[in-house]
Structure 1
């Protein structure tokens, strides 16, 4: 082994792995036997199969290495990480952006694993969050459920486009194109029914009050041809198939989420978060908030804290929040919109910010608030969410500031405002 002289270390025995699809380049760095101030290192290449990873684990045991670090390369890091973790090694996942190669440094897989080992043994590499096995199993199901839900939504949109192509304006009258009444009408169209009056009579419940409007919307049914019926049949069957798969996933998720039922109830109390959103959020951030020392750490990990970059008094870029966990972002986006319709403190916050700064910024701000509340609830099993009320901001804002805000709003609309207090002492 080659010997090199370095500075005092944070970890004495370390292994760094550069991960590829079918290859693992591992560098072991340990104290030198001949000189304690020098390091001994060896680089070997292994495959990514179970047999090769087990051989890598045996090699690490021979050198007394317990600490293993690897880059988060796509999904390829999961096989060696989980296998070595099961063998009792302490694995750390490093963000590739933190250990990318410097300009002028040779860029090869072997050089990368040596560079990663040198950085990690000095404590210069921060660990990425990797949830425990029970959360990982739950995450696999919740993520696939979201993918299927998105695919079902796309298929429903294709149905609407197909009806528009056939000059059927059913979606103008019906709010839910895949409700009971609209579904019966589409089934009748596929079966060959083309009379607008007959199709409109299939309406149920409150839709019976729109018979006349439905007849006008279905007046173009004579242009609904056989090829429209053939494609619509496939679309509806696909929607039913995806719905059935989503129901099966939900049943399996309910079994896996049972040990965390208390945490689901805590998150479900937050305005805008339902049971499904609570399950998705737990699957992404877990229930052990010790990995996020403060709420700010959790918010930063989810990239819901936009950073302002400026130079010479000018802002750079669009102050984007960066690339975070897209599944958390999807959940929080839905939660913020739902909470904005409620008479709660979070709803009031969304409406205030959406009015002044726009809906996208309001969603990020409300997502930040929801994550902060979730961190507080999950950190304390005894904690219970209590809403502060829809008038939270009005009651804590001084009346003079409220008055000045209303005056500015009226002046912006083109009015000259004169204030006269009802009571002289006011």
Structure 2
């Protein structure tokens, strides 16, 4: 007599959940088939999104999973989150459908099925106040990038006129450079008079600056220069407006500590005065509870990006390894048959990780424990790998500071050299044992 095989089923984790396939014109929602209308579509107008939330409340749905499709998910996510639903924002790689079965109806049903059995994990999204700060900081970064492009176009117009100003001063967007550019646009063409606008701190003498300002003043190039300088000034006002809103947004965040006193001089910023930079430093310290700028190579701008991307609460990350993996800075786990697979892991685009990599690239000349560690990595690995490893070290320090609330303590280069000697000594002992000495 043949024995019947026991049927194995996945455990039902979320019995009252829904899966949503996000689109630009309509959203498809799938729920448990025990309901009368298990699949419905809703247009993306605001009143239809309210109807979608009302329908889910009628069905007593508590958990909702949706794909992160472009920016189309943001209005629905914010509406459902405000209505009290537990919303999971899911990576599209985790919801890939079986080959040959692709439609909006099947997609929402597949998302519901995976979510009901607890096979989907939600993406990290900080608190709503931090999300507001994050949007402002990202907008400011976009404006700074656009301003850099406008500066490149200014340099192009000067090169076409054979104005070699960039070869005699370090920054044409500085005080001297902008004074000379504005004087040119006002009609001044005499190189000697333009050179008199030189700041005393410029290393090049007045004659050299005058020689660099001899060129051909063609109409089309002057017109391009005029428009790009106007664009540069307009973006400067927009960056200042972003800074004002960022300060207001930081004031709305909960304060985790009393007003601290700065322990070191803040780094110079091209778009903020020293007083504004110091005020931003104080606001970030009060919001985060610790001074992230105490870590070498991390300035106020890097701390602002970290604060806006992750916030001060890291309780959603169970451990330091989870946090570094979310940043994309941890080594990938690609093992099969007990061997490490070749190639790279999945590409992760994380703005906080990019800011930490930029800070790590500045550690080459830093006279600190992190700087010495980075130089040691550069001696034994590629530059990109060393920068990523140093950024990983910075991420571990940030996680420890935010979770434990303890300040950063600089150990110094002497401690690193002592630890390096101990590692070399242990390595020599291992080699001696292998040789039977």
TM-score between both structures, scaled by the size of structure 1: 0.84
1:59 aligns to what SS in structure 2?
Answer: helix
In the superposition, relative to structure 1, how do residues 306 and 110 fare at CA in structure 2: closer, same or farther (>3 Å)?
same
Give the superposition deviation at 1:27. 1.0
Structure 2 residue aligned with 1:350: 374
Structure 2 residue aligned with 1:304: 329
Structure 2 residue aligned with 1:204: 199
Give the superposition deviation at 1:64. 1.6
The alignment status of 1:120 with 2:115, answered yes or no, reads yes
User: Comparing 140-149 with 372-381, which one deviates more in the overlay?
Assistant: 372-381
In the superposition, relative to structure 1, how do residues 26 and 394 fare at CA in structure 2: closer, same or farther (>3 Å)?
same
Q: Output the CA distance in 1 between the equivalents of 2:133 and 2:158.
A: 38
The alignment status of 1:224 with 2:227, answered yes or no, reads no
Question: What is the correspondence of 1:384-423 to structure 2 with a 5 Å cutoff?
Answer: 384-398=407-421, 401=424
Question: 2:374·2:386 contact (CA, 8 Å) conserved in 1?
Answer: yes
Structure 2 residue aligned with 1:423: none
1:24 aligns to what SS in structure 2?
Answer: strand
Question: What is the correspondence of 1:306-345 to structure 2 with a 5 Å cutoff?
Answer: 306-307=331-332, 316-317=342-343, 319=344, 322-325=347-350, 327-345=351-369
Task: Note the residue ranges of structure 2 that are not aligned, 5 or more in a row.
Answer: 1-7, 256-282, 429-437
Task: Note the residue ranges of structure 1 that are not aligned, 5 or more in a row.
Answer: 33-38, 406-426
Structure 1 residue aligned with 2:131: 136
Give the superposition deviation at 1:400. 8.2
Question: What is the correspondence of 1:256-335 to structure 2 with a 5 Å cutoff?
Answer: 256-258=249-251, 259=253, 261=283, 262=286, 263=288, 265-307=290-332, 316-317=342-343, 319=344, 322-325=347-350, 327-335=351-359
2:97 aligns to what SS in structure 1?
Answer: coil
Q: Deviations over 1:45-86 (max 9, x none)?
A: 112222112212222222221111111111111111111111
The alignment status of 1:20 with 2:23, answered yes or no, reads yes
Question: 2:289·2:402 contact (CA, 8 Å) conserved in 1?
Answer: no
Q: Output the CA distance in 2 between the equivalents of 1:154 and 1:300.
A: 33
In the superposition, relative to structure 1, how do residues 403 and 96 fare at CA in structure 2: closer, same or farther (>3 Å)?
closer
Give the superposition deviation at 1:268. 2.0
User: Comparing 242-251 with 205-214, which one deviates more in the overlay?
Assistant: 205-214
Question: 1:306·1:321 contact (CA, 8 Å) conserved in 2?
Answer: no
2:65 aligns to what SS in structure 1?
Answer: strand
Structure 1 residue aligned with 2:50: 54
Q: Output the CA distance in 2 between the equivalents of 1:360 and 1:71.
A: 32
In the superposition, relative to structure 1, how do residues 208 and 289 fare at CA in structure 2: closer, same or farther (>3 Å)?
closer
Which residue among 214, 223, 237 is the counterpart of 2:209?
214
1:398 aligns to what SS in structure 2?
Answer: helix
Give the superposition deviation at 1:178. 1.1
The alignment status of 1:158 with 2:153, answered yes or no, reads yes
2:373 aligns to what SS in structure 1?
Answer: helix
The alignment status of 1:243 with 2:236, answered yes or no, reads yes
TM-score between both structures, scaled by the size of structure 2: 0.82
In the superposition, relative to structure 1, how do residues 231 and 402 fare at CA in structure 2: closer, same or farther (>3 Å)?
farther
Q: CA RMSD in A?
A: 2.6
Question: What is the correspondence of 1:164-183 to structure 2 with a 5 Å cutoff?
Answer: 164-183=159-178
Structure 2 residue aligned with 1:147: 142
In the superposition, relative to structure 1, how do residues 253 and 265 fare at CA in structure 2: closer, same or farther (>3 Å)?
farther
The alignment status of 1:378 with 2:402, answered yes or no, reads yes
Q: Number of residue pairs matched?
A: 388
Q: Output the CA distance in 1 between the equivalents of 2:379 and 2:244.
A: 40
